[in-house]
Amino acid sequence: MLDFPVENLSAEDVERLRGIFEPLTHSVRELVDATIRTEMDAESVALAKAEIDAATARLRERQLEGSFGVRFGSDGDQMPWGNVVIGMRNPVAPPLVFVPSADGGVRADFHLGAAYEGPPGHVHGGVAAMILDHALGGAASAPDKPRLTGTITMRYRRMTPLGALHVVAAIVRTEGVKTFATGHLADADGVTVEAEGVFIQPRWARD
């Protein structure tokens, strides 16, 4: 049992929690990939299932009610660890690590494996849309000015292969509570999906 709550943490405690949970999340991501690609015999699969069920039961002995949400450290830094795109504690997340780009937007290099497949050997279109939605929303928002997706349009120029990928997004303009952003997903050969969207500052976050 953890001896401190998962909120209002010092930077030291945040890193301590990261050291506990990030390796677990990585192991579960590896498990998902192995589950998809294994060719072991039925006895080995049954044994693995029993071990997984036992581990799941152990982790459920003490857990949160509902989702993780967004926690905050004592310095105000966000901890969106359950997020499906960037969540450090979410094995479904690739995860992406966004950094500022030269044009004031955001970018990320990442890898998508077998768990994100749609067409054979390629990324599911819904996964590509999810990543671009998050990227455009991240570019359109600021820590003190969150903006949520109003509308978003995707243009699928070609299929996106599984493997090493890159995403970028930037603001085009802002009109009142609306911010317009564009971005794209690309592999080593160029752009695969383009996106443009309108992001709205919610009423509860307005001055």
The pair of structure tokens assigned to 191 is 């752009």
Q: What is the pLDDT of residues 29-56, one digit of tens each?
A: 999 999 999 999 999 999 999 999 999 9
Task: Find residue 196's DSSP bridge partners.
Answer: 153, 182
State yes or no: pLDDT of 3 exceeds 60: no
Q: What is the pLDDT of residues 78-122, one digit of tens each?
A: 889 999 999 999 999 999 999 998 888 999 999 999 999 999 999
What stretch of H or E contains 139?
A: helix 125-140
Of 5-9, 111-115, 149-153, minimum mean pLDDT range: 5-9
The pTM assigned to this predicted structure is 0.91
Say if residues 57 and 63 touch (Cβ distance below 8 Å): no
Q: Quick one: pLDDT at residue 70?
A: 84
Mean pLDDT of 157-179: 96
CA-only gyration radius of the chain, Å: 19
Categorize the per-residue pLDDT at 142 as very low, low, confident or very high, splitting at 50, 70 and 90. confident
- Placement of tokens 């752009």 in the chain: 191
Say if residues 188 and 164 touch (Cβ distance below 8 Å): yes
